[in-house]
A = this chain, B = another copy of it.
Amino acid sequence: MECFFNPRNVAIVGATPTPGKGGYNIVYNIKKGFTGGIFPVNPNYGEIMGMVCYPSVDDIPEPIDLVIVFVPAAIVPEVIAACGRKGVEGVIVQSAGFAETGENGSRLQEQVMSLAKQHGIRIWGPNCVGLVDIGRRQVFSFIAPGILKPQVIAGGVSMIVQSGMLSGGFLMDMMMADRMGFAKVCSIGNKMDVNECDLLAYLLNDPQTRVVGCYLENLVDGRRLIELCRRTEKPVVILKGGQSEHGARAAQSHTASMAADRAVVRGILARAGVIEARDFKQMADICNTLALIPAPSNGEEGRVAVLTYSGGAGIVSTDLMEGRHMRLAELSSDTIAKIQPVFPDWMPVGNPVDFWPAVEKSGPLKTYTTCLQAVLEDPGVDAVLLHMFLGGRMNLDVSSLARAAEKAGKPLFCWAIGHDEVRRELTDVFREHGVPVFRELERTAECMDALFAKQKPARPRIQAGEAAEKSVIPEDLSQRFPDAGGVMDEYEARQILRRLNMPVVEESLARSPEKAVEAADQLGYPVVLKGIAPERIHKTEAGLVRLDLRTAAEVCFAAHSLTDAMGERGRLLVQRQVSGRLELMAGLIRDKQFGPCVMIGLGGVLAEIMGDVAFSPAPLTGADALALIDRLQSQQLLNGFRGEPAADRSALAHILVCLGDLGNCFEALQEIDLNPLIISDGQPVVADAAVILKTGTS
């Protein structure tokens, strides 16, 4: 990827001397900041901005590593061919008119791709805005130069965006209004070749980049993405567009991409330590915070001291901590003793430190300095949230406040309202010392949460070289898959699960009502009786299930009525009745973006309403499986409730590991559905299972 970020010589195909055109902007932007060789290419001009303009790439007298292309789509293939002859390493195709426009464009895109492969060229784009390297003032993009003119602030946030807007207007917006700093912004367009994973891998190794924010409409290689995110210490924030049903439709027409199911994407990204964003500016705010503040050391818990001039703002700040990875710090008596003297006697010091009366008594300088210093020195305080009101001018040495926090090694967050321009001045000063400044309390809380959530042990890392535990799957198992694929016979399916030592309900097939009674006598009452008719997955809806049969007579009666209902083709299944007040479900799905994924969720009648499910890519280690269980909202139910014993989490984890191994070993397995998975006396029991195979494979 170095050819894109650090080329020696750059050619611009489609350069033009006409201001306002994209081909002009590219040359202008490059000339402004790039220190290597610049070679405009356009057969219609001999010179552009004082530089020689060449008729084609072939005519350039020096070697070229990077070519930027901004010509009509139809001409792009011949440009790529020329690049191939020239030995170019990378091409950024900024022209539009490819897959995003329909079938013809898709064919053109394929043609470009095959030429590039042939010549060993990496292609970035097409239909993209290219690369804006703010830190090095190196802009390989057609964006209007005016966009970056008003303010360019270098910082630690890099972005990978599947949207042109984010690499132009949005940058301007965030730098101007929020004084936020960026490193590299990469607009990836149609991702024909270079994709988010390639760029993420580069940026995670880039010393200028401390945090990566991504706006993505589809995930080209979900597995690689999560592996990259898992292995890095740098925060990755992702806004995934197209998650709603309608949004996904819009995404399809926009970049010809399919969006994965929301729950799967969310769960899996979260598991990989990715912070998920909901909106553009919110993503930028989180990135900015994490770029300014180094990850706190492991001991820190998010105990926050709030220094405020407004009781109301202190209360709302406190309310906003609830449900997040932080809480009000308990100030030590030492700290209180240090602060009390600046307060009037009648005002007891607590947290939030509501220092308005102190400012009136002791003046702002003494109050701010004393309170901040005291809470920073308190070992029970991990971070400080400072509220500031900004009048017509700054009358405090704010950099000394920021330095105090820097020295103490504790994150300082600032919420500031009042004079808009003064807030920008304050933000500039504070940014130099790693202090983010916010205008909304809720956003402040969200960003603090992002910082402290990273510290929680919820993210087991797969170390390099580490593999999942040895699979328990016997290799000959696939012999039991019927060649035709489709829904497996349920009894057969459960037999497979039993071979993996999964706790499947005890059961017996019976050919007649008499045999059913015999089987029930052997299993012990109460029993469940099911009619198995081929291809009917939903037995309950079909009326083929009889629950809670307590005597031989009840079994006999029910068996006759099922036999009548099914006719000749059905068989009778007698199961021990599993009782338990907690129903879960578990399963395996094959996701388009992440491959085989294991699911666990809350079952029973509330399953659909709660939507409490968690996904993880297979295979899973035992630790992965336990962490997955922890991610259920309702996981506290597993600790026992109303006299129920706690559920055996390791037995549950075993089931999940098996599911993952099955999905990982056998491509033919399309879906497994264990539902319900009943917790009975603390032990999980698979009461029903469906196994679905790819049709036409075995």
Contact A255 B417 (CB under 8 A): no
Contact A319 B169 (CB under 8 A): no
Contact A242 B319 (CB under 8 A): yes
CB of A278 within 8 Å of the partner chain: yes
CB of A320 within 8 Å of the partner chain: yes
CB of A150 within 8 Å of the partner chain: yes
CA–CA, A173 to B313, complex, Å?
Answer: 14
Given the interface contacts A150-B419, A605-B641, A610-B610, does A389 sit within 8 Å of B165 by beta carbon? yes
A 306-347 to B, binary, CB cutoff 8 A, 1 in contact else 0? 000111111110111110000110000000000000000011
Chain A, range 286-318, C-beta contacts under 8 Å to B: 309-316, 318
CB distance from A250 to the nearest CB of B (A): 5
A172 closest partner in B (C-beta): B418
A 644-682 to B, binary, CB cutoff 8 A, 1 in contact else 0? 100000000000000000000000000000000000000
B147, B165, B253: the one within 8 Å of A391 (CB): B147
CB of A569 within 8 Å of the partner chain: no
Contact B610 A246 (CB under 8 A): no
Q: How many copies does the complex hold?
A: 2
CA–CA, A546 to B97, complex, Å?
Answer: 73
A217 closest partner in B (C-beta): B315
Chain A, range 229-244, C-beta contacts under 8 Å to B: 239, 241-244
A 416-448 to B, binary, CB cutoff 8 A, 1 in contact else 0? 011110010000000000000001111000000
Binds B, one of A38-46, A584-592, A631-639: A631-639
CA–CA, A305 to B602, complex, Å?
Answer: 37
CB of A32 within 8 Å of the partner chain: no
For A315, list chain B residues within 8 Å (CB): 217, 241-242, 247, 250-251, 254
Contact B163 A320 (CB under 8 A): no
For A312, list chain B residues within 8 Å (CB): 161-166, 215, 217, 241, 254
Q: Which of A243, A247, A316, A321 has the most CB of B within 10 A?
A: A316
Report the interface size for chain A: residues with CB under 8 A from the other chain. 99
CB of A557 within 8 Å of the partner chain: no
B254, B280, B608, B637: the one within 8 Å of A354 (CB): B254
For A609, list chain B residues within 8 Å (CB): 633-634, 636-637
CA–CA, A644 to B606, complex, Å?
Answer: 13
B250, B320, B606: the one within 8 Å of A279 (CB): B320
A 189-230 to B, binary, CB cutoff 8 A, 1 in contact else 0? 000000000000000000000000001010000000000000
Top 8 closest pairs, chain A to chain B, by CB: A163-B312, A165-B310, A254-B311, A247-B319, A244-B322, A241-B315, A279-B442, A173-B417
Q: List 26 A-B contacts (CB under 8 A).
A: A97-B346, A102-B346, A147-B418, A165-B310, A165-B312, A169-B390, A177-B423, A241-B312, A244-B319, A246-B318, A246-B327, A250-B314, A250-B315, A253-B350, A254-B311, A254-B315, A279-B316, A280-B313, A280-B440, A280-B441, A281-B439, A540-B642, A582-B605, A605-B637, A605-B642, A606-B637
Q: A247-B319, A250-B314 are in contact. List 16 more A-B contacts (CB 8 A).
A: A150-B419, A164-B310, A166-B310, A177-B423, A217-B312, A217-B315, A241-B312, A250-B350, A254-B311, A254-B312, A254-B315, A279-B440, A280-B313, A280-B440, A605-B644, A608-B641
